[in-house]
Structures are given as structure tokens and as C-alpha cells.
């Protein structure tokens, strides 16, 4: 779909979804980071159990995935924010800004 073929309402809906995706990815990343910090604090107090070490490895993998999801969602939001819907390009038949 060409950005020029989108209406302002369609662009607004796409922006809203993209912004929600960014926030959801950021929240997931934050939660995983907090859990890793908790395990790191525990590791400073004592050696981690095998189960805790496995959990830490899993969290690190999930953190990398969450970071990639957030970065991708942020790129999509920036790209969508650059869209100029056709109705926004004209005002009563004249280009805006004139």
C-alpha cells in the first residue's frame, strides 16, 4: 500500500497500533531486564542453582528477542510517522503552507 493512498484516519490507526507495539515491546524488555537484575543480585549473594542458571540463560535469549522486537516496532513507527496522507497534502485544493 502506497503511503499516498492512505487516508488520515488510516495513518492514525497505523500509528496507534505501531505505538502500542513499541510500548508492549518496551514493557516486555523492561520486565525481562528486572528479572535478570534480580538473578544477578542473587548470584552476588550465593551461587545460582542449576535451575536459576537455566532461567538466567533463557531470560538472556528472551531479552535479545525483546530488544529486536522493540527496535523493529520503533522503526515501523518512525516510518509510519513519515507518511503524508493524501488529505493532509492539500487544504481546499491548495498545498499546505502556502
Structural domain harbouring 50: 3-83
- Pick from 58, 86, 67: which is nearest to 22 by CA? 67
Structure confidence by residue, pLDDT tens digits, 54-76? 999 999 999 999 999 999 999 99
pTM, entire model: 0.69
The list of the chain residues with pLDDT below 50 reads: 89-93, 98
Inside any domain, residue 89: no
Grid coordinates in use for 93?
485544493
Structural domain tally of the chain?
1
Burial class (CB in 10 A: 0-12, 13-18, 19+), 16: exposed
Query: What's the pLDDT score for residue 92?
Result: 44
Inside any domain, residue 20: yes
487544504: which residue's cell? 91
What percent of the chain stands above pLDDT 70?
80
- Alpha-carbon distance of 75 to 19, in angstroms, equals 11
- Alpha-carbon distance of 29 to 32, in angstroms, equals 5
Inside any domain, residue 92: no
Amino acid at each position: 500500500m502506497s503511503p499516498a493512498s492512505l487516508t488520515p484516519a488510516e495513518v492514525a490507526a497505523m500509528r496507534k497500533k505501531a505505538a502500542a507495539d513499541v510500548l508492549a515491546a518496551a514493557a516486555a524488555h523492561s520486565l525481562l531486564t528486572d528479572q535478570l537484575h534480580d538473578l544477578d543480585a542473587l548470584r552476588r549473594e550465593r551461587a545460582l542453582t542449576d535451575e536459576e542458571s537455566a532461567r538466567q540463560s533463557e531470560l538472556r535469549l528472551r531479552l535479545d528477542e525483546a530488544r529486536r522486537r522493540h527496535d523493529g516496532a520503533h522503526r515501523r513507527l518512525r516510518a509510519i510517522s513519515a507518511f503524508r496522507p493524501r488529505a493532509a497534502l492539500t487544504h481546499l485544493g491548495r498545498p499546505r503552507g502556502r
